[in-house]
Copies of this chain bind each other. A is one copy, B any other.
């Protein structure tokens, strides 16, 4: 953990170090992944069966067995306690409502020259959703990735999840069912991404692949990009908490730890205008660490990447936050909306003393898939826009073309593109032989 104070001489150097703390956990797996993708492209189902036997320690008798039959999905989901199903339903209902509000309107207009132009939104035909297996199989991620696709109108959502030793995760199956996933495949790793991108005899290809995964999955997504669309490759998570001394230090400590418990490479930063309050939060955090189930991970994250920054005023806090461009931002001051107005870069903001980031991970409604590692400078969280695409259109009759065509002819000639110029000029019966 580092302690910085904007009033101290070494501040800028220390803050720069914080900005440059890349927390890079990338492993080079490109050759291994290229081999797996090549195998799936070449051998299709046979490669999937072989790789599943080797990596997931179970033996699918046929490629058909890689698909979870609806009855098995239902049976697994039925074992989930009612309280958890109810909680998933609250989450799904709220996520769906927030993403429905994002659905954009088409544009259609006619201008003074009689040119009709427009823009039409439409869903992607088929989306692949990768869900990690084992401990990191989060049902909340299934909802956050699949529901925006469904709200966007995507007709086919194919989910791939590894099932080590053949075991299904009931809560993940319940989430898949609730989110309206069309197909569930027990396929993991780079081979799942390859199958979704290229298709096999049994798995139909998709147009875009989303969802988190380990280094192999991330590298596989990079390698199939272009053949299909992909979402951003997420780095380790981070939170910036702006908190004044009116807060309960324990609440703030738990918010910092909630981020830290994800991953040793996660980062939690407290920015406060009160050094004494900052010290109370650090003390509360150390106290909570003695009881936390994931204390080893959270403690390592806090010691390696955590920070407390003491500022002179909230304007300074806003400026530093914009430089950090955090994935998550909590604003726990007396006027959080005012501060938010000055924030230019943040993935998601949580306003008020009773608005912990954890509600955003599950039930608030906005997406929890967010830009990490300062990419909020240019990137956004997952949304319905990730599952829609645009077609623009133009309609001109002879009169409208006569109004705007000559300018196109002039520019095409200036750029040396003779056929471009002539395709317009011929219709205008201009002197279309001049190239």
Q: Is the CB of A400 within 8 A of B435?
A: no
Q: Please, how many angstroms separate the alpha-carbon atoms of A393 and B421 in the complex?
A: 49
What residue of chain B has the Cβ atom nearest to residue A365's Cβ? B117
Residues of B within 8 A of A336 (CB): 395
Residues of B within 8 A of A86 (CB): 407, 410
Question: Quick one: which of B109, B298, B364, B433 contacts A291, CB cutoff 8 A?
Answer: B433
User: Interface readout for A403-416 with B: 1 if CB under 8 Å, 0 if not?
Assistant: 01111101110111
Q: Is the CB of B117 within 8 A of A107?
A: no
What residue of chain B has the Cβ atom nearest to residue A402's Cβ? B354
Q: Please, how many angstroms separate the alpha-carbon atoms of A344 and B389 in the complex?
A: 10
Q: Which A42-90 residues have C-beta < 8 A from chain B?
A: 83-84, 86-88, 90
User: Interface readout for A118-153 with B: 1 if CB under 8 Å, 0 if not?
Assistant: 010010110000000001001110000000000000
Q: Please, how many angstroms separate the alpha-carbon atoms of A393 and B370 in the complex?
A: 12
A178 close to B (CB within 8 Å): no
Contacts A104-B104, A117-B364, A364-B115 known; A393 to B292 CB distance under 8 Å? no
Q: Is the CB of B298 within 8 A of A354?
A: no
Q: Please, how many angstroms separate the alpha-carbon atoms of A423 and B391 in the complex?
A: 44
Question: Quick one: which of B124, B138, B233 contacts A415, CB cutoff 8 A?
Answer: B138
A338 close to B (CB within 8 Å): no
Q: Is the CB of A254 within 8 A of B117?
A: no
Residues of B within 8 A of A375 (CB): 226, 229
Q: Please, how many angstroms separate the alpha-carbon atoms of A378 and B385 in the complex?
A: 11
Q: Please, how many angstroms separate the alpha-carbon atoms of A401 and B383 in the complex?
A: 23
A21 to chain B, nearest CB (A): 15
Residues of B within 8 A of A208 (CB): 378
- The number of times this chain is found in the oligomer is 2
A250 close to B (CB within 8 Å): yes
A394 close to B (CB within 8 Å): yes
A94 to chain B, nearest CB (A): 7
A101 close to B (CB within 8 Å): yes
Q: Is the CB of B83 within 8 A of A410?
A: yes
Q: Which A296-351 residues have C-beta < 8 A from chain B?
A: 298, 336-337, 340, 343-351
Question: Quick one: which of B349, B363, B390, B405 contacts A408, CB cutoff 8 A?
Answer: B363
Binding site for B on A (CB under 8 A): 83-84, 86-88, 90-91, 94, 97-98, 101-102, 104, 107, 109, 111, 115-117, 119, 122, 124-125, 135, 138-140, 171, 207-208, 226, 228-229, 233, 248, 250-251, 254-255, 257-258, 260-262, 288, 291-294, 298, 336-337, 340, 343-352, 354-367, 371, 373, 375-381, 383, 385, 389-398, 400-401, 404-408, 410-412, 414-424, 426-427, 433, 435
